[in-house]
């Protein structure tokens, strides 16, 4: 799946040591299906050569506004009109100031100023968004002038992708370093996704729960959390504010998603109940343990050599989905609840029964053994009107389809918050 297939990105490099990251970013954009045209400032060429960027982009690199390779001698017009977006990475403090004041003393700044802000002009120009990935020393980043410039650029319609925190080339540590190429790639992909959940707050549960038997043993299941994490990412891409309540899994948090780590079903219930008070959509993807040991031991249960098996008594765990679905906010339509069912057989019958038992408008079923730990899945959507199949695909692709489906349902019933 190439998320940027058909997209043409103008990648601008201003002066900064973070130019070395632009090489990997260029390669990543192309691997994701985009075509990339590199434009460099004179200062950027002090850190990385045009030859390097040409080899990676498979296109001639532009650096001068007087470049005679353009028949009309107007690369600032031609390059901007071809782009689906202009991405400045790295964007120095000086270049941010240039953008703010509309200065245009080199090709890159001239091109940014000349880019179409709205579509439908005399040449049927499309709007060309501007995205910047700042990169500078921590003191430069924190300086009031930089912060004022960033605020005004945002008001002017520029998308600022934020900065990372950590060691800097100068030897200091703090905010201001350019985001890593993988992070920027996720942000660019998200930028182009339809914002069907803009203004909404989505709560997602993911992964298994762990129910302790003693301090070193417990009961869990094979859920990897990948489906729930993919749904959280897709919801963020769709413009929502996302909270992810995750059981014990070893997965990176999706970009832009707030994560709450929990362990047991009781822990998850407590986190969900609090977060559900402000959510508009609740997607219960987690594979919550149905039972827990009634009285877990404070110390490791040891064998005594007799062959006797310890007698464990179980009690039922709280039903998180049903509890939220029966809450006043869900009953009044303020909170749209989606359940998941991981079955081993009779998927349709079990999913239909679970939807009714939980009292949710939408239940998503899958065959657990066919998907646990894998990157692909197949989904069956069950509601009061019938069923819909989502054929096997990557979990991220399925998550985007599911998020779009949820958005359509909420729009049709007028459940979107203002």
Compute the distance between CA of residue 172 and CA of residue 30 in angstroms, rounded to an integer: 33
**258/282 same-domain check:** yes
Domain annotation covers residue 320: yes
Q: Specify the CATH number for the domain of residue 119.
A: 3.40.50.1950
Same domain, 180 and 242: no
Residue finishing a domain among 162, 192, 222 = 192
Do 78 and 161 belong together in one domain?
Answer: yes
170 is catalytic: yes
Q: CA quadruple 197, 201, 236, 227: dihedral positive or negative?
A: negative
pLDDT given at position 414: 78
Task: List the one residue out of 342, 327, 33 whose CA is nearest residue 203.
Answer: 327
pLDDT of residue 403: 97
Rounded distance between C-alpha atoms, residue 238 and residue 39, angstroms: 30
Q: Looking at the structure, tell me whether residues 183 and 126 fall in a common domain.
A: yes
Structural domain contains residue 3:
no
Dist CA 266 CA 209 (whole Å) = 9
Q: Is residue 41 part of a domain?
A: yes
- In this structure, are 137 and 257 located in the same domain? no
Q: Which of 192, 211, 243 is the last residue of a domain?
A: 192
Which CATH number fits the domain that encloses residue 299? Answer: 3.40.50.10300
Whole-model pTM?
Answer: 0.91
Residue 223 lies in a domain: yes
**Is residue 337 domain-shared with residue 205, that is, in the same domain?**
yes
Co-location of 128 and 247 in the same domain = no
* Residue 417 is assigned to a structural domain of this protein: no
pLDDT value of position 369: 77
Cβ burial of 301 (10 Å; 0-12, 13-18, 19+) is middle
Query: Helices 144-155 and 93-101, interaxial angle, to 10°?
Result: 50
Is 376 found in the same domain as 334? yes
Asked if residues 247 and 262 have their Cβ atoms less than 8 Å apart, the reply is yes
Q: Is 173 part of any domain?
A: yes
Q: How many Å separate Cα 205 from the centre of its chain?
A: 15
Indicate the number of domains in the chain.
Answer: 2
Residue 238 and residue 156 share a domain: no
Tell me which H or E stretch contains 272. helix 265-275
Please report the pLDDT score of residue 120 as a whole number.
61
Per-residue pLDDT of the chain (418 residues; tens, 9 = 90+): 699 999 999 999 999 999 999 999 999 999 999 999 999 999 999 999 999 999 999 999 999 988 888 888 888 988 999 999 999 999 999 999 999 999 999 999 999 999 999 876 555 578 999 999 999 999 999 999 999 999 999 999 999 999 999 998 889 999 999 999 999 999 999 999 999 999 999 999 999 999 999 999 999 998 999 999 999 999 999 999 999 999 999 999 999 999 999 999 999 999 999 999 999 999 999 999 999 999 899 999 888 888 888 888 999 999 999 999 999 999 999 999 999 988 888 888 999 999 999 999 999 998 877 788 888 999 999 999 999 999 999 999 999 999 999 999 998 877 775 4
Reduced to 3 states (helix: H, G, I; strand: E, B; else coil), residue 324 is helix
226 and 184 belong to one structural domain: no
187 and 222 part of one domain? no
Which residues is 340 bridged to in the sheet?
A: 364
Tell me the residue range of the domain where 317 lies. Answer: 201-412
Residue 123's pLDDT is 55
Look at residue 1 and tell me if it is in a domain: no
Task: Look at phi and psi of residue 338 and say left if phi exceeds 0, alpha if psi is from -120 to 50, else beta.
Answer: beta
In a domain, 318, yes or no: yes
Query: How far is 28 from 14, CA to CA, in rounded Å?
Result: 19
Q: Which of 26, 91, 112, 170 is catalytic?
A: 170
SS3 call for 241: strand
Kindly tell me the sign of the dihedral angle through the C-alpha atoms of 46, 48, 52, 57: negative
Q: Determine the Cα–Cα distance for residues 109 and 324; give it in Å rounded to an integer.
A: 52
Q: Are 60 and 213 in contact (CB under 8 A)?
A: no
Tell whether 143 and 282 lie within a shared domain: no
Q: Which of 192, 224, 251 is the last residue of a domain?
A: 192
Cβ-contact 140, 93 below 8 angstroms: yes
């Amino acid at each position: 799946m190439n998320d940027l297939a058909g997209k043409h990105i103008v990648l601008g490099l201003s002066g900064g040591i973070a130019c070395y990251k632009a090489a990997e970013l260029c390669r990543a954009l192309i691997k994701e299906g985009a075509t990339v045209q590199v434009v460099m400032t004179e200062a950027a060429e002090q850190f990385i050569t045009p030859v390097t960027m040409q080899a990676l982009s498979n296109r001639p690199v532009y650096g001068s506004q007087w470049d005679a390779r353009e028949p009309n001698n107007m690369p600032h017009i031609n390059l901007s009109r071809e782009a689906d977006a202009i991405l400045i990475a790295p964007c120095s403090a000086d270049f941010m100031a240039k953008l703010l004041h509309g200065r245009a003393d080199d090709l890159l700044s001239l091109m940014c100023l000349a880019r179409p802000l709205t579509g439908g002009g005399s040449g049927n120009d499309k709007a060309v968004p501007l995205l910047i990935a700042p990169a500078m020393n921590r003191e430069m980043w924190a300086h009031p002038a930089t912060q004022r410039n960033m605020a005004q650029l945002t008001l002017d319609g520029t998308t600022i992708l934020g900065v990372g925190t950590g060691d800097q080339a100068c030897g200091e540590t703090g905010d201001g370093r350019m985001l890593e190429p993988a992070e920027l790639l996720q942000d660019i992909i998200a930028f182009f996704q339809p914002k069907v959940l803009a203004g909404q707050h989505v709560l997602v549960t993911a992964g298994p729960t762990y129910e302790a038997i003693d301090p070193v043993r417990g009961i869990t299941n094979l859920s990897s959390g990948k489906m729930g994490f993919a749904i959280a990412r897709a919801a963020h891409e769709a413009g929502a504010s996302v909270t992810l309540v995750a059981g014990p899994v070893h997965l990176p948090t999706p970009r832009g998603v707030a994560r709450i780590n929990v362990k047991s079903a009781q822990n998850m219930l407590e986190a969900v109940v609090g977060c559900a008070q402000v959510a508009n959509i609740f997607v219960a993807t987690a594979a919550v343990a149905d039972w827990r040991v009634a009285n877990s031991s404070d110390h490791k249960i040891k064998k005594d050599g007799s062959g006797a098996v310890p007698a464990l008594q179980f009690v039922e765990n709280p039903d998180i989905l049903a509890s939220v679905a029966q809450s006043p906010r869900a009953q009044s339509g303020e909170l749209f609840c989606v359940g998941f069912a991981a079955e081993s057989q009779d998927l349709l019958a079990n999913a239909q029964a679970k939807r009714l038992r939980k009292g949710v408008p939408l239940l998503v079923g899958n065959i657990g053994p066919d998907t646990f730990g894998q990157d692909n899945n197949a989904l069956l959507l069950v509601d009061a009107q019938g069923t819909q199949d989502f054929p096997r695909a990557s979990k991220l692709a399925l998550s985007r389809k599911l998020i779009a489906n949820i958005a359509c349902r909420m729009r049709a019933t007028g459940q979107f918050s203002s």
